[in-house]
Structure formats: structure tokens, C-alpha cells
Chain A
């Protein structure tokens, strides 16, 4: 039972020692330095104007057809496989049959999709990495055996351009002011937080981080938690019950749904981004009231995300605020992906849309993404936060965030605000804005179908066929680019996609490299399906790659090229 280093076991992910390279190259690997001032873009606030409904480009019919056929084939093969497997290779299928009078952990039917479809492409998920997930990410090589039954690790790594981490502002670094702060926090405060917030787990660092966050998002007070998922999952039960209604965007994150389920509140969802549908729903619900009893709802909470992580779309905040005021609802915005990453000052969707944060009742966000730390926060008026400190379960039962994480949060926030290293925060913001716009417009010009708003750092590119996902992911990995592919159930069935997460740590040249490869692979896999519906001139776009790289850096600064 004793621990060893596991080196004799080839299925053991090896531990890699720190790389032996100079501090300068390390810095460059984590955060590429800016190559020209013209590769910056200052986002402007939209001054409270609602955004137009995004135009969703659709692929030709034959693509949808092929996609369905593709699934059909996979499903048929899967069932044949299951049938043969259970009858002739029982020993390999013990996990889905009853054993000694006990039900299997999961049923054959429920796990079908995972066993027979996802398993085939498991090598594209959970790739082990080492080092900092910065501009480059070091993927640990692995060899798949028995159709992803297990992997072995030869002990080598592959340095890939990182389009996969939520490292929007490039704070995933192992040197610089944030790292120094984290390390001195280890010295001063240690690693352990003692217990829950209300017992012993509150230190001055927690208070400082909360003050800073509140100030940053423009609310009176804030509260931080050690996990973003947990923030949502244990939030709604503090103030909602089954006599309250939650009106929720259909694409809201699982953590929100879990939290809502725990609260017992009634949920009605509206189509993603459909403000008219939302208004209709609210009007109808106020009139109808609670089911069965018909009593009026105690309160109605509208739940949306600031930036939807699979779509790259933003909530229509000005409209939402308008609706919320008109119908006396409350508004909850989850800024997990947008805080830090969007807006002229990085302060999230309020900042981008020019909406007063006081018009939103609850602002939630995570610190895992733009700040390179971990955890989540809730920001509200002080009297609400005071109430929540007593009523929420997380601060009273769960561990509180640890000091090094808090130090990272505080130092990265102060960098963005400009208190630390003045100018650096602004450069990061301008770089992520430029990079996102450049890459998005370039992809559209090359002919790909891309979803989302102009300023969103999440750039989903549609692949459609499920079998193009592993193909794309593997080819990109060979070309030293780490990407994330997502499919059903995270997206609609036929809209499998690759999701590029842009980062301020990439240089324009990195993006050019990326574009050239995406262009080639896109040609190879027949991904250029754009019909021109969502391009500014309404024409089918099939630009040459050189032309794109030459003209897009300037064009992307002009809003007219972005339809939404």
C-alpha cells in the first residue's frame, strides 16, 4: 500500500520536472510579448444599446443529412458491438450487467452514448498536460491501446499553441507580480484555510479580495467561494423556494441548473437569447401564477450567463435590464467567462454594454478563468450580501479559499485595474480584444461558420459531423495546436464544434500560424460551409489565406465587418 513514484507502470502519467530553460524563454512561452502596437484594440462601450439578434449561419442540407447518417452509423455499430460484446466477451462488459444481485453502476442504455460514441474519441479529451497553461501548453504524449481502453505514456511532451485554456487575459504564468504574490502568500499565510468562512476560514486576504472584486464589478459588496461551480450549485436555495419562479436561458451552465434544482424553485426556460420569447413568458407567468394554486409567484428571477461558453454569444443585457424593470423581476448574470475578458475595462458585460451594474441584482462570476486563479464570487448590494453570508450554505459548511489563490486574485485584479504595473492590464485587455476580433473575422473570411459576438473571446467554429471532431482535434495536435472539441450533449446534436478560447498571451504571429493550419485542415475536412448569411456584405466568403492575413488585422477593428 505504500506510495512509490509509479515509474515502473507505463499507464501512469509521469511527473515532469521543471523545464530547464532561461527565464526569458519561459516568459515568452507563457506570455508572448507584443510584436506591434497596431495589434491592439480598445473596445468601446455600446452605451446601453441592445445588440441585434445574431444571425445564425446554417450549413447546406447535405451536411445535416450526412451528420445524421454519421450518427446513425455510429449508433448501429454501437448496438452491434454491445450485442456481440455481451454475448461473446462478457468479461469485458461486466460494468453494464447485474452482478451478484446488484445493479450495475450505470445501465446499458444510459451509458450507451458514452461507451460507444465518446469512448471512440477519448484520446481527444482529458489530455494530460504539464507546466503553465499559458501561450503554449505542454501536452504529455500518450499512446492509446485497445481503442482508448487505456493509455501508455512514453515520457515525452508536445509543446502546443494553447487555444484551449480559459486563460483569457494570460494570467496563467509562473513568473511576474502574480506569482510573486502567490509565493509570498505561501510564506505568510500557509496553504490551509482552517475551515468554513464563518468559523475560522476568514482572513484579511479574503476581505481584501472581496473589497476589490466589489469595486471592480461596481457593486457594494462581494463574497468569494473556493469553487465556481459550487458557488452556483449552492446559491439559489438561500433565497428561493418552490413558490418562486426562475426564468432561465436554455443554455445555462450545469452549475446553475444544479443550484436551481436544489432550491426547488419552479423553472421555465426560454430559447437562448430570445428576448421576445422571454417577455412573453414573463407576462404569461405573472398572469398565470403558480401551477395548481394559481397564486402569484413570490418572486421571479431571470437567470442568464454574460457570455455563453459554448456559443460565444452574449446576453442581451440592455434588453434584459429593460424587461426586468418593466416586470419587477430580479436579474442574475453569471459572468464566468465574461468577467475580465470583455468590456473596455474588462469589467464584464455591464462594462461592454454600458449598463449600470446597479441595475443587475446579482452578479456572479468565476475567478478560474481570466484571473488565472480558482473559485467564484457573488456581488450584490451590501444588505443582500450580509444576509447571504448567514443564509448561504457554502460559507457556513464548505472550505474557504486558500491564501495563494487569493493572492493571485488580488494581484491580477490590481494589474487589470492598473494599480500594479500600470499599463500592463490595459495592454492585456487590448490584446485579447484584438486577438478575438482578428481571429473571428479571419475565420469568417476563410469560409468557416463561426458563432458569437464580435468581442467574445470564445470562438466556436462549426464542424457538424461527429467524426470530424476527432479528425480535427488529432490533426491539430499533430500540428502542435491544442484545441477543444465539443459535441452533444453540450451542444445541439448536429452542431458539433471546435471551441477556440482566445488569450491575450498569443501574438498576432501565433494567430497567423493557427489560421494557416485551420485553413488547410478546413479544406481537407470540408469545413468551409459559410453561406454568407452572417457576413457583413451577405456574400459567400472564401478568401485566400494570404489575403486574409494581410487585410484582416486592420479590418477587424471596424465594427461594420461584424454582423453581430
Chain B
């Protein structure tokens, strides 16, 4: 027992310590020492401990207490501790059972009379196309087939180019189903990507002039999945304050700091970006955050377009990336339908960093996609959830989209027809404003194939006694309070008023248009009801303008009578 001799070395005399502690420590030390000597390498460790306690006794104390705390923590079962913290009183089992018995949850979904009324008329007004597909003339039923309308002129469809109705495309669909069946039965990572999928990605990229494209199963899920694949906490997103719900969801899922700029207002955006960059310079971050400007090609709720050249200038100036949702504008804008960038005569590859597009609008099959450079696209293959964890599109939808792109490439007549019709439709309503000025505004642009008609603010407040601001304030405060249901009576009244116009058109004039349908509870940005009127390449100008005339007549009738 040679160790006893060296005992005083354990606790240096420089620290005043009560003697019983010294005795206790000595006791432990002796046995510990004994044990260590017997272990391989034990002597070396002993030497180390002795040396360090000699050189720096405080460190040893801290180390020992850390070890002791570690043991304590390990034994105290943190899981259990955490759960008890919340209760903080020591409840008996009986008390807990009582609490559990007392708990009365709300219903799975909310149900009351007001809510039911709001929902009932909406459900009853959903048109169901029967005896055929969604064509320009359709038969529709509503309200559980209690109403039926035949030979209705359909002005609600988003199939702007109507190329998916051409015989060569239908033949392609039949052929593909005969070769591939319907479903792809697997996600892209696991054998779900067939040759047709790869080829459509090449075709999309080539057609729209980017390095690569990535396919998704549904247009609405693309933006939330893509944006959140590239952003994390600390990144900065500056978004237009009129973006559609898909982008609002994307912003919510991005985890980043989100700022809004006034709709299409370049000055306000410039100011905001300057401010943000100045702020960032002050913060001296270890790495530059990723920064995005998020906007839309043709705005889904308004129908106007983003000023791309100015946005590109700003993004270059402030080192941002531009993310544009072109769900409605691809295939419609630009001489050959190549979208917003072509409309402004700019190359897509250098102007827009991420484009989100839909195959289910102008291109006319199903699915969604993104366009951009190869690095960004490749990262989606492993970072974007809706791509990785979802099955690929059916082969026929994909091969038909390729076929349609080829048709568009050879012949832009469908695109120019739509553009011309959009223009005449816009001009018609713009001209009609002479009579309707007191009631209606046309908020969309002349290039949008969807015309949006809103009530004028004055008419809204005189007839329905509310303003857009009031609606927004009400909705956001209800959202903040997590109200299960949001009912704003004047807004409901306006919706019903607009629906009455839609009904009248359907019943008296055999014309199907639609309200701009949205879910108020989910919308986090200011929004007002509107009527949507769509045109497409298979309409002829006369029938379109005839229908527009009826629409104007009905609107006038409804607005002017009290």
C-alpha cells in the first residue's frame, strides 16, 4: 500500500477544507487507487490525475463535480422528470383519472348552424360535369343532380391552350397506356422514373431554356416542397403581398424570416431590400444567408403580372434569388408561350432562378414541375419532400405533355389565339366599364386568360358595408385567436351575391363562370371575392364576346337593382 504515502497530494493544502471531507476523500482515493493500479493503463491514468490536481486543483474539482453530476443525471431518468414538471403537483392516480374523465374535446371538425348554412350553399353550387369531359360545351348538374343544364358554354376551365384535346395527343395517351399502363407504382428514387419522365424533364428544360426541370405529382404541392428544400432558419424571403395560397404555405414551411412588399411595387421592394442588406451587414453573420424574392407570373387571385425586368435588376443589385410561381403564365405569356421571361424578352436561365410551373393548366395534362439550373434541380432529387416521397406521375400524362410541348414548339397558333382572345375579353370588359364603373373593376391585365372582376370598394361598402381592410383585419385576428371557424357576415353576403350572378348566367344564359373560390380560414394575405372568366384557344371570338355581353348584362342587372 505504497499509495497512502502520497495521499496528501490528492488535495493540496492551499485550499482550506474541513477535515471530515479530507478523510472521506482519502478513503475513496485509497480504494480508487487500489483499483486503478490493478487495471491495465491504470498507473498512467493515476499519474495524470495526480499531476493535474497538483497543477490545477480547481480543474480537478470541476471535473469531479461534472462526473458526479453525470452519474446523478443518468440515475435520475430525465424522461420521467420532464413529464412530471408540467404537472408540478403530485397528483394521485385517482386525481389524474378524474382529470382525464373530465376532459371534453371539441368535435373533430366544427359544426354549428351558421357554419352549416355557409357550407351548404357552397356545396350545392359545385358543378358536376356529366356525360363527357371538361370541354367548351358541357352538361353540368348541381346539388346532387337536382339541377341539370345541358349545352353550357364553359368559361371556367384552366385548359387555356386546349392542345390536350387534339387527336394526336389523345392518340399518344392511348399508345402510352397500352405500353406503360396507368400508374408508375413507385417514387422517382425507386424505379418510378420511366424513360418518358426523364424525357419530359429534358423537354421542359429545353423548351423553357433552363438547364434542368424536375417533375412533381401535383401543382399545388410544388412550391411548398421546393422552397423549403432550400431554406432554413435565418434565411431571408421577401414576398409579394398578393401571392396565392400555395406560396403562402411555402413561406410558412420555409422556416425563414419572411418580409412582404407591396404588390408589384418596385420602389417599396428596393427600399426593403436595401434596408435588409444594411441590417445584415451590421449583424456580421458567419455566412451569407440564402435570400429569395418570391412572386408570381400571373397572380392567381388578381390576374395581373409581375414586372420581371425590374425584379431582375433588383435581385442582381441586392444579390437575391428570384422564385416565381408561373402556374398560370407558362404556355400563355410570351409569343410562343414560354412564359413571363419571354413576355419581357429576357432569357429565363439568367433572370429567374426557380420557376414553378403546372402541367395541369395551359399544358393540359396533370402534375407540376420546376425549372432552374442543374445544381438546384439535382438538390431537389434528394431534398424536396414532394419529389422524394411521392410516386411519379402516370406515364401517359407525361408523354402527352412532351407531345404538347412539341406541338407548341412547332406551331404557336394556340398561344396566339389565347392571347388574342384574352385581349378582346379584357377590352370588352374594360370598355364596358363605362356602364359598370360604379359597380365593378377589372383587376386583371389584358394578357391574362382569366379575367377577374371585383366589386369596386365604394360599391362594396355601400351594398355590403365592409372594406377589404376590415375583412383582412377580421380574418387575421380570428386566425391569431385560432378560431375554429371564420364567418364574416358581410363577406358571406357578397359571396352569395356573386354566386347569384353565376347562377343567373348558368340558368338563363347557359354560361358557366365561377367565383374565385378560396378558403378564407387559410388565407393569410388580404383578399377580396371576385368573379373569374376564362377563355381558351378553342373558343371563337364571336361566341366569347357574346358570352361576355351576357355576363355584363347580368352583372349590371344585379348591381343596379336594389
Q: Which residues in chain A, 7-29, are within 8 Å of chain B measured between CB atoms?
A: 12-16, 18
Q: A174-B178, A241-B482, A388-B109 are in contact. Are A166 and B288 (CB under 8 A)?
A: no
Q: A164-B190, A283-B100 are in contact. Are A299 and B106 (CB under 8 A)?
A: yes
**Residues of A contacting B379 in the complex (Cβ-Cβ under 8 angstroms):** 105-106, 111
B105 touches A329 (CB 8 A): yes
B319 touches A299 (CB 8 A): no
- Which one, A178, A254, A369, A392, contacts B385 given CB within 8 A? A254
B178 touches A18 (CB 8 A): yes
**Residues of B contacting A330 in the complex (Cβ-Cβ under 8 angstroms):** 105, 108
**Residues of A contacting B164 in the complex (Cβ-Cβ under 8 angstroms):** 190-192
Q: Which residues in chain B, 120-165, are within 8 Å of chain A measured between CB atoms?
A: 122-123, 126-135, 154, 156-159, 164-165
A204 touches B130 (CB 8 A): yes
**Residues of B contacting A287 in the complex (Cβ-Cβ under 8 angstroms):** 86-87, 91, 96, 99-100
Stretch of B53-61, B360-368, B464-472, B543-551 at the chain-chain interface: B360-368
What CA separation (Å) do A186 and B383 show in the bound complex? 35
Is A396's beta carbon under 8 Å from chain B?
yes
**Residues of B contacting A183 in the complex (Cβ-Cβ under 8 angstroms):** 174, 177-178
B191 touches A137 (CB 8 A): yes
Q: Which residues in chain A, 403-440, are within 8 Å of chain B measured between CB atoms?
A: 403-405, 408
**CB nearest neighbor in B for A189:** B133
What CA separation (Å) do A540 and B119 show in the bound complex? 62
A128 touches B194 (CB 8 A): yes
Q: A228-B390, A394-B220 are in contact. Are A408 and B128 (CB under 8 A)?
A: no
**Residues of A contacting B181 in the complex (Cβ-Cβ under 8 angstroms):** 30, 132-134, 171-174, 178-179, 372
Q: Hey, what's the 0/1 contact readout for A291-305 against B, CB within 8 Å counting as 1?
A: 100101111110000
- Which one, B106, B154, B217, B249, contacts A227 given CB within 8 A? B217
What CA separation (Å) do A63 and B301 show in the bound complex? 58
Q: How far is the CB of B178 from chain A (nearest CB, A)?
A: 5
Is A229's beta carbon under 8 Å from chain B?
yes
Is A129's beta carbon under 8 Å from chain B?
yes
What CA separation (Å) do A397 and B106 show in the bound complex? 27
**Residues of A contacting B388 in the complex (Cβ-Cβ under 8 angstroms):** 254
Q: How far is the CB of B541 from chain A (nearest CB, A)?
A: 22
- Which one, B165, B319, B375, contacts A95 given CB within 8 A? B375
A393 touches B182 (CB 8 A): no
**Residues of B contacting A328 in the complex (Cβ-Cβ under 8 angstroms):** 103-105
Q: Which residues in chain A, 513-546, are within 8 Å of chain B measured between CB atoms?
A: none
B221 touches A230 (CB 8 A): yes
Q: How far is the CB of B352 from chain A (nearest CB, A)?
A: 15
Q: Which residues in chain A, 302-331, are within 8 Å of chain B measured between CB atoms?
A: 327-330
**Residues of A contacting B225 in the complex (Cβ-Cβ under 8 angstroms):** 233, 258
A374 touches B182 (CB 8 A): yes
Is A83's beta carbon under 8 Å from chain B?
no
**Residues of A contacting B376 in the complex (Cβ-Cβ under 8 angstroms):** 105
What CA separation (Å) do A276 and B525 show in the bound complex? 44
What CA separation (Å) do A255 and B181 show in the bound complex? 26
**Residues of A contacting B391 in the complex (Cβ-Cβ under 8 angstroms):** 166, 228, 366, 368-369, 374
Q: A103-B291, A229-B390 are in contact. Are A18 and B179 (CB under 8 A)?
A: yes
- Which one, A95, A186, A194, A230, contacts B386 given CB within 8 A? A230
**Residues of B contacting A384 in the complex (Cβ-Cβ under 8 angstroms):** 108-109
Q: How far is the CB of B325 from chain A (nearest CB, A)?
A: 12
Is A114's beta carbon under 8 Å from chain B?
yes
A405 touches B133 (CB 8 A): no
Is A91's beta carbon under 8 Å from chain B?
no
A191 touches B190 (CB 8 A): no
Q: A130-B195, A192-B164 are in contact. Are A125 and B189 (CB under 8 A)?
A: yes
Is B522's beta carbon under 8 Å from chain A?
yes
Is B245's beta carbon under 8 Å from chain A?
yes
B191 touches A286 (CB 8 A): no
A139 touches B191 (CB 8 A): yes
Q: How far is the CB of A7 from chain B (nearest CB, A)?
A: 11
What CA separation (Å) do A404 and B184 show in the bound complex? 13
Residues of A in contact with B, size category: 35 or more
A297 touches B288 (CB 8 A): no
Is B290's beta carbon under 8 Å from chain A?
yes
- Which one, A14, A131, A187, A200, contacts B129 given CB within 8 A? A200
What CA separation (Å) do A402 and B393 show in the bound complex? 11
Q: A192-B164, A328-B104, A404-B173 are in contact. Are A202 and B364 (CB under 8 A)?
A: no
B129 touches A194 (CB 8 A): yes
B382 touches A201 (CB 8 A): no
A226 touches B218 (CB 8 A): yes
Is A2's beta carbon under 8 Å from chain B?
yes
Q: How far is the CB of A304 from chain B (nearest CB, A)?
A: 16
Q: How far is the CB of B82 from chain A (nearest CB, A)?
A: 10
Is B452's beta carbon under 8 Å from chain A?
no
What CA separation (Å) do A404 and B376 show in the bound complex? 33
- Which one, B128, B196, B482, contacts A203 given CB within 8 A? B128
A179 touches B177 (CB 8 A): yes
A242 touches B209 (CB 8 A): no
**Residues of A contacting B202 in the complex (Cβ-Cβ under 8 angstroms):** 6, 12-13
- Which one, B96, B156, B383, contacts A195 given CB within 8 A? B156
**Residues of A contacting B291 in the complex (Cβ-Cβ under 8 angstroms):** 102-103
Q: Which residues in chain B, 308-350, are within 8 Å of chain A measured between CB atoms?
A: 319, 321
A140 touches B126 (CB 8 A): no
A165 touches B178 (CB 8 A): no
- Which one, A94, A182, A194, A238, contacts B156 given CB within 8 A? A194
Q: Which residues in chain B, 218-246, are within 8 Å of chain A measured between CB atoms?
A: 218-221, 224-225, 230, 232, 235, 244-246
Is B437's beta carbon under 8 Å from chain A?
no
Is B357's beta carbon under 8 Å from chain A?
no
A255 touches B219 (CB 8 A): no
Is B51's beta carbon under 8 Å from chain A?
no
**Residues of A contacting B218 in the complex (Cβ-Cβ under 8 angstroms):** 225-227, 229-230, 398-399
**Residues of A contacting B232 in the complex (Cβ-Cβ under 8 angstroms):** 110
**Residues of B contacting A373 in the complex (Cβ-Cβ under 8 angstroms):** 182-183, 394
Q: Hey, what's the 0/1 contact readout for A157-171 against B, CB within 8 Å counting as 1?
A: 000001011110001
**Residues of A contacting B364 in the complex (Cβ-Cβ under 8 angstroms):** 191-192
Q: A105-B375, A203-B128 are in contact. Are A390 and B123 (CB under 8 A)?
A: yes
Is B400's beta carbon under 8 Å from chain A?
yes
Q: A15-B199, A101-B288 are in contact. Are A399 and B185 (CB under 8 A)?
A: no
- Which one, A201, A299, A374, contacts B183 given CB within 8 A? A374
Is B512's beta carbon under 8 Å from chain A?
yes
- Which one, A242, A243, A482, contacts B191 given CB within 8 A? A482
B177 touches A204 (CB 8 A): no
B170 touches A262 (CB 8 A): no
Q: Hey, what's the 0/1 contact readout for A276-287 against B, CB within 8 Å counting as 1?
A: 000000011011
A128 touches B514 (CB 8 A): no
A392 touches B105 (CB 8 A): no
What CA separation (Å) do A367 and B386 show in the bound complex? 16
Interface residues of B, Cβ cutoff 8 Å to A: 83, 86-87, 91, 96, 99-100, 103-111, 115, 118-119, 122-123, 126-135, 154, 156-159, 164-165, 169-170, 173-175, 177-186, 188-196, 198-199, 202-203, 206-207, 209, 217-221, 224-225, 230, 232, 235, 244-246, 249, 252-253, 287-291, 319, 321, 358, 360, 364-367, 375-376, 379, 381-383, 385-386, 388-391, 393-394, 396-397, 400, 405-406, 409, 482, 484, 512, 514, 517-519, 521-522, 532
Extra contacts besides A201-B134, A228-B217 (17): CB < 8 Å: A13-B195, A94-B375, A95-B375, A101-B319, A125-B189, A191-B364, A192-B157, A203-B134, A226-B217, A230-B220, A233-B221, A241-B482, A287-B87, A288-B86, A330-B108, A398-B219, A402-B365
Could you jot down 23 A-B contacts, CB within 8 Å? A1-B209, A12-B198, A125-B189, A126-B381, A128-B195, A133-B184, A188-B133, A190-B135, A191-B400, A193-B360, A203-B129, A227-B218, A233-B221, A288-B86, A297-B105, A298-B106, A299-B107, A362-B108, A387-B115, A397-B244, A397-B245, A404-B394, A405-B182
7 tightest Cβ-Cβ pairs between the two chains A and B: A398-B220, A194-B134, A189-B133, A229-B390, A399-B360, A227-B218, A13-B198
